[in-house]
Amino acid sequence: MPKNCNFIEKLREVGLRPTKQRVNMCEVLFNREKTFHFTINDLVKMISEKMNQKISLATVYNTVHAFEKKGYLKEISIDSHKSYFDTNTSAHHHFFDEDTNELIDCDENDIDPVNIKKNITGKKINSVEVLIKVASDNHNQK
């Protein structure tokens, strides 16, 4: 039984057809020890290498968005020019290293739960995200 049966089933469960491209993308994204962060460009390269052939940019966008809608991926926006996706879809926070442009997960021990004391009337909270921008002490930021 090939190891990608996992992903074929997983895709079916959420109503996505297990196409060659999607299964390959699943393997690139989820068949690993630790979750990670990537940009669309990163991903295009990784999948093309894995498949040993080009994958259409449009397919990568479509599929990433399909995965995002189904809760397989989460977008993390740093500023208007830097946007990442995260394969860790659980609620968690991030450090962003402005020297290296690296996004780093906070684990539960790094930060106390955020205590929100007032809410917007008639609205429910969908997400709470903390972004901590760091840089080396001597770094000339922005």
Closest to DNA by CB, 53 vs 109, is 53
Site size for DNA (CB under 7 A): 24
Out of DNA, a second copy, none, what residue 95 binds, judged by CB under 5 to 8 A for its kind, is a second copy
- Give the three-class secondary structure for 83: strand
Q: Cα(9)–Cα(77) distance, rounded to whole angstroms?
A: 30
Asked if residue 17 binds DNA (CB under 7 A), the reply is yes
With residue 138 as reference, give the H or E element that holds it.
Answer: none
**Which residues, other chains included, contact 8 with Cβ-Cβ below 8 Å and sequence gap of 6+?**
18, 23
Selected binder of DNA within 6, 16, 30, 104 (CB under 7 A): 16
How distant is the alpha carbon of residue 132 from its chain centre? 17
Residues 70-129, interacting with DNA (CB under 7 A): 80-81, 83
Cα–Cα dist 33/36, whole Å = 10
Show the tokens assigned to 121. 């009337």
CB of 131: closest distance to a second copy in angstroms? 5
Site string for DNA, 61-80 (x = CB under 7 A): xxx-xx-------------x
Q: Letter for the amino acid at 14? A: V
Among 10, 22, 37, 93, binds DNA (CB under 7 A): 22
Q: Residues interacting with DNA, by CB under 7 A?
A: 12, 16-22, 40-41, 54-59, 61-63, 65-66, 80-81, 83
